[in-house]
Amino acid sequence: MFYELLIRLRHRISKQDTNYRKAIDPGTKLAATLCHLANGDLYASMKFDF
């Protein structure tokens, strides 16, 4: 199920790398968003999980 969502959303949540930092890959973004929606945790409290 996760990979199906990732395939469908990859082009919408992808960003390009810049000279200052690398972009977060779409799989990590999707995983963090799903954890946030499932648990209701704040993103600040999840920063050490990813």
Range of the domain at 30: 2-13+23-46
Euclidean distance between CA atoms 34 and 39, whole angstroms: 8
In tens, the pLDDT along 9-49 reads 999 999 999 999 999 999 999 999 999 899 888 878 877 88
Residue 18 domain-assigned? no
Q: For residues 13, 14, 18 and 20, what is the CA-based torsion angle, rounded to 10 degrees?
A: 50
Q: For residues 19, 21, 26 and 28, what is the CA-based torsion angle, rounded to 10 degrees?
A: 170
- Answer yes or no: is pLDDT of 3 > 90: yes
Contacts of 36 (CB under 8 A, 6+ apart): 42, 43, 46
3-state secondary structure of 11: helix
The number of folded domains in the chain is 1
